[in-house]
Amino acid sequence: MTARSKWIALALCAIILLAAGCSDSAPVLEKNLVRTETTSDKTKDPDAGKAQESMRITVYHATKDAMNLVPEIHVVDKNDNPARTAIALLAAEPIDKSLMRVMPVSAKLLSLKIQDGVAFANFSSNLRRFGGGSANEILLVAEIVNTLTEFPEIKSVQILIEGKKVETLGGHLDISEPLSRSEKIIKRTK
């Protein structure tokens, strides 16, 4: 095969791959309902044949224009710490491709304690490594606060870094006190 033939074959493969990824129709998500599967070792689970209970968790991801948050509902296996599961879902890529993840992948939730309606969400210092300026800082804080306040026992959220209160994550938004839910930033889809 000549060099020219190799380039033509390579170009055709690239075009085919690009065309396969492009489609006018988006995957249909019934009212943003997404089934998030978790893996388990069924050989160690004595109840492997029984149906597992599930729960719905709503997390908020940012729109790509960085103007709003949109709720995304995940159905996950029922567990003892759904609020921690919700934060883990925030760190994952949204299912809806019109949304974006703002939380840094390297940010870790070190602990989560709920006391008198306040969730104390203690993150690693990597939470400060979000990309962007004031808009992304506001979206990140709003994602965390609105996601956690979806749980009825949580009325406000105190974000901590390495166990300490901080004034701000990036210099634009005061987080030194517990923050309440913000409905204004949420864009409801139909």
pLDDT tens track for 59-71? 999 999 999 999 9
Question: How far apart, in Å, do the first and last CA atoms of the chain sit?
Answer: 54
Q: Which of 13-17, 68-72, 83-87 has the lowest mean pLDDT?
A: 13-17
Q: Where are the alpha helices (DSSP H) in the chain?
A: 3-21, 82-90, 134-148
Say if residues 125 and 162 touch (Cβ distance below 8 Å). Answer: yes
* Strand-by-strand arrangement of the 99-100 sheet: 33-35, 69-77, 54-63, 99-100
Residue appearing with tokens 């599961």: 85
Dihedral of the CA atoms 126, 128, 129, 132 (nearest 10)? 160
| pLDDT (0 to 100) of residue 33 | 40
pLDDT tens column, 22-54: 333 333 233 334 444 333 333 344 455 445 799
Is the Cα dihedral 169, 148, 92, 123 positive or negative? positive
Residue appearing with tokens 């492009």: 22
Tokens (6 digits) for 16: 């085919």
Residue appearing with tokens 């995304």: 72
Q: Which of 12-21, 116-125, 130-139 has the lowest mean pLDDT?
A: 12-21
